[in-house]
Amino acid sequence: MKRTLLLITFLLLGVNIKAQDLLSFKVEVEQSQPLPTYLLALEERHDVKFFFAEEWLLPFEITISANGKTIRDALNLILEDSGIHFEEHFGYAIIFVKDPRNEERRDSILRVATITRKSVDQTIIGDARSFKPGKRVQLKGIVKDEVSGNPMKDVIVMLNDREVASTDEYGAYKLVTISGGYILSFSYPNYREKVIDLRIYDDGDVNVFLEETPVILDEVVVSEQALTNRIGESSLKMTDLKRSPTFLGERDLVKQIQLQPGVTTVSEVATGFNVRGGGVDQNLVLYDNIPVFNTSHAFGFFTAFNSEAIQQVQFYRGGIPSQFGGRASSVLDITSKEGAYDQWHGSGGIGIISSQLALSGPIKRDTASIHASFRTSYSNWLLQSIKSDYDLRYASVKFYDASIKLTQKFTARTKLTLSAYSSSDEFSLTNDTTYMPRNLASSIKLDHIFNEKFFGSVTASFGQFSYTMSEPEEHQAFELKYEIQYPSLRLDFHVEKQKHKISFGAQSTLYTFQPGDLTGSKNSSTVNFIMPDEKALESGLYISDALEISNKLLIEAGARYSMYHRLGQGVTYLYDDNKAREPMNIKDSITYTGGDVMKMYQGLEPRLSMRYTLNDNSAIKFGYNRIFQYLHLVTNTAAVAPVDIWQTSNEYFKPQRADQVSLGYYKNFNNNVYETFVESFYKEVQNTLDFKDGSQLILNKHLETALISGHSTSYGVELSAAKVKGRLTGTFSYTFSRSLRQTDGRFPTERINDGKTYSSNYDQPHVGTVTWRYAFSRRHFFAGTFTYHTGRPTSLPTSFYQIDGVSIPNFSERNKFRIPDYHRLDVAFIIEGNHKRKKLLDGTWIVSFYNVYSRKNAYSLYFEDNGKGMVTTYKLSVIGSIIPSVTYSFKF
Amino acid sequence: MKKRAIIFGVVIVIVASSCVDKFDLSGFKVENHLVVDGLITNDHGPYTVELYMSSGIGDNVDHPEYVTDAIVTIKNDLGESEILSEASDGIYRTAEDGLQGEIGRKYQLLIELPDGRSFQSPMDEMKAPGNIDDLFFEFKANSINGNDIALPQDAFWVYLNSSSDGSDDQHLFRWRWNGTYKIKTYPELHVVAVGNSFIPRPFPCSGYIVEEGNVLQKIRDCTCCECWKTEYGGSALISKNEFLEGGNFRRVPITKVPILRKIFEDGYYVQVEQMRISESAYNFWKLAEAYQASGGNIFQPNAVQIKGNISSTEGSDEVFGVFSVAGVTRKGVFLHRWNIPYGLAEGPIVTSPCYSVEVGATTTKPIFW
């Protein structure tokens, strides 16, 4: 007691006198003895006093292995990770100080767990009698989903509330600690936290199953994710998606992406999204590693992905890792769900527009599983009830999407996965032209773990994107077909060695484009126009190393070497150099036969991502990437129409080259309840394509005469503040950014706006979003979203005249005007099923109100000649009123 | 928990609606500029050049503000020139026996405004117009949509085969068409109501008079029973490679003539003009056509900036329009009533003079009728 009092006194005084080194004596013991005994013996022989609480040091002993070491070194070794430190004072006193927080924390965790009725399991590893204080023990294990039996990735493993490890993609974790008592816990969003009162005295395994919770009031957030993610990276939580307002009852992944800072869209009726001033074609959307070209149903009203089939979504808008390539602006990496290995489950949903069903279960228990989902629309009445100037009485929208994933485990280390995804649409606005886009993405993937630090996979895939535009009208009936086929092969490997995590691989895709076959579909029509097929091979090799230089600094450096071959057969037209590139100025042509290389491009794409952790709750990140994009989406409409064309690079269309730097600062507050960040970026893209005035893009054999290349510059600052825990969660984000273009050719017709800089179609300087979710109870939520963005640029006619009876407008310079600003509020009430763990059906109702205050946001401005010489400008609003909807979904 | 439970009694009424509203652009400052619309061909003169100002949104394009008192000159590559006289406000004409267009000559338009600004067109060659080899039509049932997209109409589709004279490999044509039909009325059957009964009151131009006992008596030929009305195609129509077969254009769609009782009283005469135009004029019409094709498209193709071939001599003033130097050739085809594979129902009997039925209807019988 006396010693303890003294200790406190010294601490209060805070004196620290540097004296001769008392601890440089060498240890000399004949046999192991308890540490206190040894220290007291030292006091006898030397002029030194040790101050300590006996019970702290009693578990430790000094052994003969310490002989020859200085006392300082020996004590450091023995007490490592014990929480006990020692300090020298007054030249003769050694004071042992123990940080009491560890124990207190353990007690409080236990208390909290008890109060919140978390089940706390007790586990003892090793024999308590073999307890050796200070002994280092290894704990490892596998974390699996209780229902499906699938290994779970990114589960956070905590010892006494301190994050110490997370699971890899095989569900495995491993950690080393000092033997003793701990509270071990496993957490993952939307899963019931597993808490174990662990006494560990020897190396051992703790394997756990996590149970998905229907509702978690205080959702467990992947801890400090905002701090540990790469720059520009975000993980989308499927629960957020399931508890958000919907448009006509359809949960929408892409609309969720559009709420991310730096992401915009031109309208509801626009497929895809624009990332940091990039075009819609600059997003690499991967579904189980296969690129998907069309991400939407019905003009962009809905996403082409069924949220029930999705396991995980990663989104990169800056600092893009080297394993991804081929698109200049962003990567949306979607992983589909794997089937359950133990018993059958299902889920379904019934909405106004569509219904969906998903089934998951074992084909052979514990070794083979299947996950299948299907969604289909069933009604046109809603669309046909839309009142508009476009006569929609004959409009029709039909779509479906389906996915299936089959998994076979051969051994614990080898797994084969077959995945297929398909989506299909058929829609028409009037009773004439029907658009039928289709997607197919299928793959076969073999995963193998060579050892715990070396694993890899090989994937063969086949993708297809096509559309048919069909005109049924007698006499001019035609079908316009467009198709891209892209079989691909890729190898990916991952090696860990000390502080290095090295990924490397190779990838090759063979594209075959059918740029348009126009054929008469009835005897009476005589149209026939076939564009020749085009072939191209795109290949890449990549390597990257994530190196943890220190606790604070992580650098991931890598590179991708990409190659592109435009393959025959084909014709390259040569144009008169002294004249504008027009069909009439063709002077020669070169014909290539099958297998010839018509044009080759290659390039090195350096990638860099850095994270410097300032302290427990703040970090600075930096990213740089260069990416070559060899395919270009060719369009002359503001939003992407279903008849747009993907043009492969050739003699005239050089690959786009994007360079982006981004820098960000991240800070969490209030014990990670609030996450904030500011990220800035600057991006240059060379060889972007823009269309010439009045150019015809479909079925044009000389597209190089219709398009001109320029470059784009975008820059911006993204601010985000989020409250991620508690009854009320929400995010506020604001982005200021510009997206500018310059197209300055040699001839007047090859310049846009006389070669001056102009806004791109999606230059929307101010974008703000607010989302929130308030939990009335564990089952009742009120969620909402407010979005605002500057109206997109447009070109408007400013005056008119008639020449020879033909009305002609005089347009402003391209994109000189803007349509009115866009803003919209959506709210939803979500009622989830009761939380009994065992029940037949777990149902959820979502009542959603889209566009709550009925704003008529402009989709476009257009003008019409009334035939009597008067021209009037109109604003078309696609959604002109509040749209309520109700959806019921269930799980079993 | 119970007190917090929320019960939604929701009656879902779908009132989804898209809408179109007028959009007020009056806030944008619009500057009007000079517009030039002129043409010289190998036809016998006179040739006309119109000068007027462009109109702002909401203004009436049909009644623009004409530009008067300008000095408008057409000159050729031999140095010959003619100053056009102002026939009416803003409309300038060459003299009947003045400058004549000739194939192979080059022509240029020069304009000087009273305020001193001057404008010009390039010196363009008048090229041989080639031939319209064939102008033909096909009857197609339910093949066009009129005002109601749900009610397709039958129509004659008129096509053209054309060839150039092979003097160069550029195929720059513009086609324009007009259609003429006969209007037949019965002004002698005109009546007026008197009390409860109708009494004959034929128009004097019908050649009839009413005699005693309300008997009609013909005293001379009717001068207002038969009229002809000519309609002009309002579309920019230019040659495109997709119709090109071995240097000739085949099956170029020119127009679709709906099967309407009104225009098939007798027959419908379609005349097509093939104009061989210069590259600068072609580019103008190409953009005009692209603009027309994009009208009413929900995907809203972006704007096209249509620049003509007129420029300011100082190079600073903006000016619109085109001066076309064109070799021209024509061909016509009759769409007869008997080409319609069914009998047309007889229409209402119109008792007013034929020229009052349609604006621009004339009693002068066209030479081709």
| A218 inside domain | no
**Beta-carbon separation of A387 and B295 below 8 A:** no
CA A502 – CA A167 distance, rounded (Å): 18
| A220 inside domain | no
Q: Report the mean per-residue pLDDT for chain B.
A: 82
- Lowest mean pLDDT segment, chosen from A69-78, A852-861, B142-151, B188-197: B142-151
Would you say the C-alpha torsion A822, A711, B298, B31 has a positive or negative sign?
Answer: positive
Domain that holds residue A136: 101-213
My answer on whether A853 and A716 are in the same domain is yes
Name every chain B residue with its beta carbon within 8 A of the beta carbon of A885.
12
CA A351 – CA A44 distance, rounded (Å): 84
Q: Looking at the partner chain, which of B16, B290, B322 has a beta carbon nearest the beta carbon of A803?
A: B322
Confidence of residue B147 (pLDDT cuts 50, 70, 90): low
What is the radius of gyration, based on Cα positions, of chain A?
32
My answer on whether A873 and A764 are in the same domain is yes
How near does any CA of chain B get to the CA of A850, in Å?
A: 10
Last residue of a domain, one of A63, A80, A98: A98
Establish, for the pair of chains A and B, how many residue pairs have beta carbons separated by less than 8 Å: 251
Q: Which of A475, A635, A754, A856 to mutate to test the interface with B (most CBs of B within 10 A)?
A: A475
Check: CB of residue A150 under 8 Å from CB of residue A162: no
* Beta-ladder partners of B206: none
Among B8, B87, B72, smallest CA distance to B40 is for B72
Last residue of a domain, one of A66, A98, A130: A98
The residues, any chain, with a CB within 8 Å of residue A45's CB and separated by 6 or more, are: none
Confidence of residue A6 (pLDDT cuts 50, 70, 90): very low
**Beta-carbon separation of B321 and A803 below 8 A:** yes
How near does any CA of chain A get to the CA of B352, in Å?
A: 25
Name every chain A residue with its beta carbon within 8 A of the beta carbon of B140.
474-475, 524
Q: Residue A238 has what DSSP assignment?
A: H
My answer on whether A83 and A177 are in the same domain is no
Name every chain A residue with its beta carbon within 8 A of the beta carbon of B157.
475
Tokens 């199953």 — which residue? Answer: A209
- CB neighbours of residue A128 within 10 Å: 9
**Beta-carbon separation of B306 and A801 below 8 A:** no
Q: Report the mean per-residue pLDDT for chain A.
A: 82
Q: How far apart are the first and last CA of chain B?
A: 91
- Lowest mean pLDDT segment, chosen from A4-18, A134-148, A247-261, A741-755: A4-18
CA A339 – CA A363 distance, rounded (Å): 9
Q: Is A835 helix (H, G, I), strand (E, B) or coil?
A: coil
Q: Looking at the partner chain, which of B236, B290, B301 has a beta carbon nearest the beta carbon of A806?
A: B236
Confidence of residue A740 (pLDDT cuts 50, 70, 90): very high
CA B259, distance to chain mean position in Å, is 19
Name every chain A residue with its beta carbon within 8 A of the beta carbon of B287.
693-694
* Beta-ladder partners of A110: none
Q: Looking at the partner chain, which of A391, A694, A801 has a beta carbon nearest the beta carbon of B304?
A: A694
What tokens appear for B204 in the block?
A: 């004097």
Check: CB of residue A19 under 8 Å from CB of residue A92: yes
Say whether residue B7 is in contact with chain A using an 8 A CB cutoff.
no
Say whether residue B143 is in contact with chain A using an 8 A CB cutoff.
yes
My answer on whether A143 and A291 are in the same domain is no
Q: What percent of the residues of chain B are helix, what percent strand, and what percent coil, each to the nearest 5?
A: 10, 45, 45
Instruction: Report whether the peptide linkage leading into residue A583 is cis, meaning its omega lies within 30 degrees of zero.
Output: no
CA B5 – CA A889 distance, rounded (Å): 19
Q: Output the pLDDT for position B4.
A: 28
- Lowest mean pLDDT segment, chosen from A110-124, A739-753, B313-327, B331-345: A110-124
**Beta-carbon separation of B57 and A798 below 8 A:** yes
Say whether residue B243 is in contact with chain A using an 8 A CB cutoff.
no
* Beta-ladder partners of A314: A235, A333
Would you say the C-alpha torsion A45, A51, A55, A61 has a positive or negative sign?
Answer: negative
* Helix (H) / strand (E) containing A65: none
State pTM to two decimals: 0.73
My answer on whether A33 and A90 are in the same domain is yes
Q: How far apart are the first and last CA of chain A?
A: 62
Say whether residue B18 is in contact with chain A using an 8 A CB cutoff.
yes
Q: What would be the CATH architecture of the domain defined by B34-125?
A: Sandwich (2.60)
How near does any CA of chain A get to the CA of B116, in Å?
A: 23
Q: Looking at the partner chain, which of A431, A695, A800 has a beta carbon nearest the beta carbon of B54?
A: A800
How near does any CA of chain A get to the CA of B23, in Å?
A: 5
| A878 inside domain | yes
A642 — phi, psi (to 5°)?
-70, -5
List A residues 236-265 in contact with B (Cβ-Cβ < 8 A).
Answer: 248
- Lowest mean pLDDT segment, chosen from A204-208, A409-413, A832-836: A832-836
**CATH assignment at residue A672:** 2.40.170.20
Considering its fold, how many domains does chain A have in total?
3
**Beta-carbon separation of A865 and B283 below 8 A:** no
Please write the tens of the pLDDT for every residue from A385-427: 555 544 555 667 788 999 999 999 888 789 999 999 999 988 7
Closest chain B residue to the Cα of A752, Cα to Cα? B305
List A residues 289-328 in contact with B (Cβ-Cβ < 8 A).
Answer: none
Q: Output the pLDDT for position A664.
A: 93
Please write the tens of the pLDDT for every residue from A481-518: 889 999 999 999 999 888 888 999 999 999 999 887 77
Say whether residue A836 is in contact with chain B using an 8 A CB cutoff.
no
Q: Output the pLDDT for position A526.
A: 53
**CATH assignment at residue A176:** 2.60.40.1120
Give A217's Cβ-side CA count (13 Å radius). 11
Name every chain B residue with its beta carbon within 8 A of the beta carbon of A817.
28
Q: Looking at the partner chain, which of B16, B23, B298 has a beta carbon nearest the beta carbon of A390?
A: B298
Average pLDDT over residues A586-614: 91
To 5 degrees, how large is the angle CA A502–CA A504–CA A505?
A: 165
* Exposure string for B134-162, b = 16+ CB within 10 A, e = fewer: ebebebbeebbeeeeeeebbbbbbbbbbb
Q: Looking at the partner chain, which of A794, A807, A811 has a beta carbon nearest the beta carbon of B305?
A: A811
CA A558 – CA A324 distance, rounded (Å): 11
Q: Output the pLDDT for position A373.
A: 93
* Domain residue ranges in chain B: 34-125, 131-185+224-356, 188-218
CA A443 – CA A507 distance, rounded (Å): 14
Torsion-angle region of A668 (φ positive above 0: left; ψ -120 to 50: alpha; else: beta):
beta
